[in-house]
Amino acid sequence: MRARGTIRGHVAIAVATVVIALTGCTPATAPSQTLVEVPADVPTISEAVELVAEGGLILVSPGDYKESVTIDKPGVTLRGTDRNAVVIDGEGLRANGVQVIADGVRVQNLTVRNHTFNGVLVTGLHDANGAQAHNLDGYEKLDPEEFPPLQRFEVASVTASNNGLYGIYAFNSQHGVIRDNYTSGSADSGFYVGQCAQCDILVEGNIAENNAIGYENANASDSVVIVGNRFTDNRVGLTLLSWYQEAYLPQKAATVVGNLIADNNSDASPAQANGAFGIGVGLSGANANELARNFIGGNLSTGVQITNTEDLESVGNRLVDNLFDDNGVDLADLSAARAASEDTCLEGDVSSVLPKGFAATCPAPTAGGVDASALPALVVPPGVSFLKVVAGLDQPQLEGDLDAVPEALPAAVTMPSLDSFAVPDRTLFAEWVTAQ
Amino acid sequence: MRLRALGAGVAALLLLAGCTPTAPAEESPQALTSEQSERLAVTRFRNFDAGVRTVDAELPSASGDIRLEGFFDFATGVGYAAVTVDDVASGLVWWTHETIAIRSAAVEGLPLPLPEDGWESGALDPSSTTLANSVALIASLGSDRPENPQLLAQSDAAWLRSDTVGEVEVDVFAGPSADSVATASSDLSTRAVYWVDATGILVRFESPLTPPPAQLTVDFGTADAIELPTTVPGAP
């Protein structure tokens, strides 16, 4: 197992905390402090954002920070000195913990909890009213000309607990890394990557438990790589879907390899909005995705569900050498006849499929799915208030020299070799989760 | 697999409203601050989070002043209250989002478990009676997730004044009149009004009822952990 929590690309030189006096060329008001420490230099993180120079580091010491932080300055790194003791707490009142609306920002090694919407929101969609994403009733589909996607971000070794929508949420953003994070108690999903084409986003080494959904991927396409994660004990483990409320339809070409997607039957989580329960993977209007060498087991309803999003069928998804183990049904096609799935390709063993004979050949011929009533009948447990979901365990710290100001994030993400991810078993990150 | 249903945001605060003036003339409504919109956005979630809350509701009607004293469990969606009309014990009411059951025989207090007989139940139609309208409004004041504060801030929801209820300091808010951006001509008299404490807890709720001039006033309080039955004896 790969070590979790390493600062990527930091520079090895120590950074002087003294502000270098600049001469006439620079306006006197321009922030020039490359390292701002909270609370040593300023009492709040928001004040540190104002003070720090572009590309600088905000280093936060342990404490409860009852503020909503917006990072609107390019290249800034927000880093806690102790992942479990640096806490941005929304107290069940504030909407977002950290909102990133500038390019090249990192958020690392801290906890965000008790927000009514998101723990960390990275979004290229923002205006005078602040950061936005979807779920606004007045929301109109994104105009990419008006709101170009945010470029380059990293959210790493962040614990996002008990947030009312998403724990860690990247929307209308490209070239990002979501790594070694832990989410629990999200009323919608622990992780969400939404609305990007040619996303170039890596989702690696994360844990989601006791969320309504572990990881959700709506209209995020082409180069979303989801590897080596643990999505267990949610109500739904992982979804790849098309959604008409967002731009860039339909969803396509995500890569899902070497993940543990198991036991998504949590009765200690918030309810999923549509009552879904006991599902490992949901593909809805999803296209040309590759799911390989994942462990998909112990999901009481279904290991993998394929369905349509309104008139958008699921086409050309490949399921290759996944290990299905003790799901209610391993693979079920629930697509409506008007948008029947096409060209699903199944390689490797499954013990049960619906409808009978589905995906017996590769690619599978167009077929109508079964009705949901054909799935195992389950009693869906009532949802838990997201504020009352049990706290997770302390999580491992980001490794490396935490005082060092990192280099700028690269223009493109360095993706790992997929060959390095074998089928995991239930021990993957087992020491870091509460549900056993 | 779908995301949170759109339209559940501000629309959920658009409670049924009649046309009766209710607001004192001296109020000077102000647009919500971001803190206020965040607080108003969690009031219904706070009820869900609390689970059971005490309910003390008054609803003047043509047949007399109706009072409901009991509980609503916002986690399970069940209410149960003793009914008095002009201070005379008149029976019991039990309700969910879909069903209402009435037991007309006068009893002492609020018996638990429920009396075994005498219940008449049916579908809850908020437009049928003032009582049905009122209990449906009470049931609507819970939600398992917060609403969108940005959208509330852009609506015509308004801060009306500071107040105290008992010893609790509250802010009094008018809910939004419509699922749209603010307009200058909003009529405050047709809106639901929320008394909300510093943590987003709903302490008092007031709403015009249909038909006018009926008006519902509900005080909510902290309840001991009790379990309200999710079915009523004799109901189908």
CATH number at residue A336: 2.160.20.10
Question: Residues near A132 by Cβ (< 8 Å), separated by ≥ 6?
Answer: A123, A125, A126, A139, B150
Residues 152-211 of B with CB under 8 A from A: 153-154, 179-181, 199-200
ipTM, two decimals, is 0.82
Contacts of residue A188 in chain B, CB cutoff 8 Å?
A: 3-4, 145
Q: What is the pLDDT of residue B177?
A: 82
Evaluate whether residue A7 is within a structural domain.
no
Residue A26 within any structural domain of the chain: no
Residue-range definition of the domain harbouring residue B41: 15-222
Of B2, B179, B199, the CB nearest to A137: B179
Please check whether residue B135 lies inside any domain of the structure: yes
Residue A280, pLDDT above cutoff 60: yes
Write A12-18 long-range contacts (CB < 8 A, 24+). Answer: A12/A401, A12/A404, A13/A404, A14/A403, A14/A404, A15/A57, A15/A403, A15/A404, A15/A405
| Cβ atoms of B186 and B177 closer than 8 Å | yes
* Alpha-carbon gap: B86 to the closest alpha carbon of chain A (Å): 38
Q: Residue A311 is encoded by which pair of tokens?
A: 């008139």
Residue reference for tokens 């009893």: B107
Judge whether B32 is closer than 8 Å to chain A, CB to CB: no
Nearest CA in chain A to B145: A164
- CA B193 – CA B205 distance, rounded (Å): 6
Number of domains chain B is built from: 1
Residue A130's pLDDT band (cuts 50, 70, 90)? low
Peptide bond into A363 cis (omega under 30): yes
**Does A8 reside within a domain?**
no
Nearest Cα to Cα of residue A237 among A283, A285, A282, A201: A282
Q: What domain count does chain A have?
A: 1
Contacts A286 to B, Cβ<8 Å: none
B85 assigned to some structural domain: yes
Q: Which residues span the domain enclosing A180?
A: 33-432
Query: pTM of the prediction?
Result: 0.88
Torsion sign across C-alpha atoms B64, B65, B71, B72: positive
* Token pair 């605060």: residue: B13
pLDDT (tens digit per residue) in A63-106? 999 999 999 999 999 999 999 999 999 999 999 999 999 999 99
Give the closest residue to A271 by CA, choosing from A186, A162, A166, A382. A382
B204 falls within a domain: yes
Give the pLDDT of residue A306: 97
| Residue A269 with chain B: CB contacts under 8 Å | none
Question: Does residue A336 belong to any structural domain of this protein?
Answer: yes
> A126: number of CA atoms within 13 Å, CB side?
18
Convert the pLDDT of each residue in A386-405 to its tens digit.
999 999 999 999 999 999 99
Is residue A357 assigned to a domain?
yes
**A107 in helix, strand or coil?**
strand
The total number of residues written for chain B in this structure: 236
**Closest to B176 measured CA to CA, from B154, B143, B198:** B154
What is the Cα–Cα distance from B27 to B160, expressed in whole angstroms? 6
**A93/B200 CB distance under 8 A:** yes
Q: Looking at the partner chain, which of A136, A243, A305 has a beta carbon nearest the beta carbon of B148? A: A136
Nearest Cα residue to A429 out of A238, A211, A181, A196? A181
What CATH number did the domain enclosing B61 receive? 2.50.20
- B8 within a domain of the structure (yes/no): no
